[in-house]
Amino acid sequence: MCCWDCEKCKEHDIIMNNTCQTCATGYVPSHHFSKCSKLTLKYIDINSPLAVTLITISLFGIVIDFAVFVVFFVNRHKPLIKASSLEMCYMMFLGIFVIFLIPVTSLAKPTAGLCYFGRFLMGISYTICYAPLCMKLWRIYRIFKSSHDIRRMSGLLGRRSQLLITFGLIAIQALFFILISSTNPPDLVENFYAHTGELHLECYLTAPVFIAYLTYNVVLMLLCTVYAFITRQCPKNFNEAMHIGVTMYLSCVVWVVFLASFLNVNDSISRVYWICGASVVIGWITLLGLFTPKVYQVFTKRYVDESTLITWRNSLLRRLASASTSEEPTSPGLVKQNPMTIQGEKLQLTVPKRMLSSSDNDKRNSKL
């Protein structure tokens, strides 16, 4: 007297009491469609060939970064190294070291602590590298392009002022991390990707949050590129500005390719690989581009002409400022020559000579 109608269940349904029930997100039907089983969590395998390659290159970069730091520290009294603004170089060494740490922390199995630590490194590492470089280029630009206003700018060009401004720029990025983490914390989540049917264990990071973290660093990088281009013809310090310019041009290319690829990838594992690969490339470009010419000059140049160097001492800035205030206007009978020339750490003042007329010669002869 009764009959049964067959109903076809969906792909992720199980049969309970002769009805179809859909499994929760991240679960799939068992072999007999009697219960839902959780998918196996997938995350980056640190033993995979690509992960091992990235970590090896990063660790080798840390070793080279430390070796170059030792070279700078041992030769810190040499004129070429002293003219490189050691405080800024030391901070850049630290920034490159932190950049190379990103693959080591990102390719490990995700944990709640690594999520916070990895996101903090991702934002602060580039700031530690680009902030001192930006201040260094800005100082070169102000000295050689605004020498007529050296008295007003001498307070900002000193060593202490440069360090305070640099720490201030880094503190801004740290403040961004606190604000973004308070509204969008880097929690450890299990994310199911329907197009692949995989359940990934990952640190929660969306594209807008990632762009917010890197926007400040991109601004610093663009400022470094602009100042490097403006000062590219500065011959001091063995064309240091030109080497910095080439480094920043290559970094810009890497950033453009990286951001475009990162935003077009949908799964978290591929995004982590892109982040680690970009960090390795940018770390090596920065290390080799900024410091290889200096190391080469240190080991090949037995004598360095100090007139080809930029002095970074505050005493010179004070002397420049006092010289600019004591400079008197030139009268019609005076020929104004170059008032200030910088040679190494010495300030040479060329005293204007008075052009004597014939009447002045007669008076001098009569006195004699």
Nearest to 43 by CA among 89, 96, 107: 107
**What's the pLDDT score for residue 335?**
39
Domain 49-145+155-192+200-302 has CATH 1.20.1070.10: yes
pLDDT, tens digit only, all 368 positions of the chain = 667 777 788 877 888 887 888 888 888 888 788 888 888 888 888 888 999 999 999 999 999 999 999 999 998 888 878 777 888 899 999 999 999 999 988 888 888 888 889 889 888 999 999 999 998 888 878 776 655 444 545 555 567 888 899 999 999 999 988 998 888 888 888 888 877 778 888 888 777 888 888 889 999 999 999 988 888 777 766 677 788 889 999 999 998 898 888 888 877 888 889 889 999 999 999 999 999 988 888 888 777 666 666 665 544 444 444 444 444 444 343 334 443 443 333 434 343 444 444 445 454 455 44
**What's the pLDDT score for residue 220?**
92
How far out from the chain centre does Cα 10 lie?
51
CA 349 to CA 93: how far, in whole Å?
37
Q: What are phi and psi of 147, to 5 degrees?
A: -65, -25
pTM reported for the whole predicted model: 0.76
CA 301 to CA 80: how far, in whole Å?
10
CA 271 to CA 278: how far, in whole Å?
11
For β-strands 198-203 and 341-343, DSSP reports them as unpaired
CA 363 to CA 368: how far, in whole Å?
9
**What's the pLDDT score for residue 228?**
87
CB 268 within 8 A of CB 255: no
Residue with tokens 């006092």: 322
CA distances from 125 to 15, 120, 163 (A): 53, 8, 17
* Residue ranges, CATH 1.20.1070.10, the chain: 49-145+155-192+200-302
CB 80 within 8 A of CB 298: yes
CA 183 to CA 80: how far, in whole Å?
47
**What's the pLDDT score for residue 195?**
74
CA distances from 35 to 22, 106, 250 (A): 10, 35, 55
Our CA angle for 194, 199, 200, nearest 5°, is 120
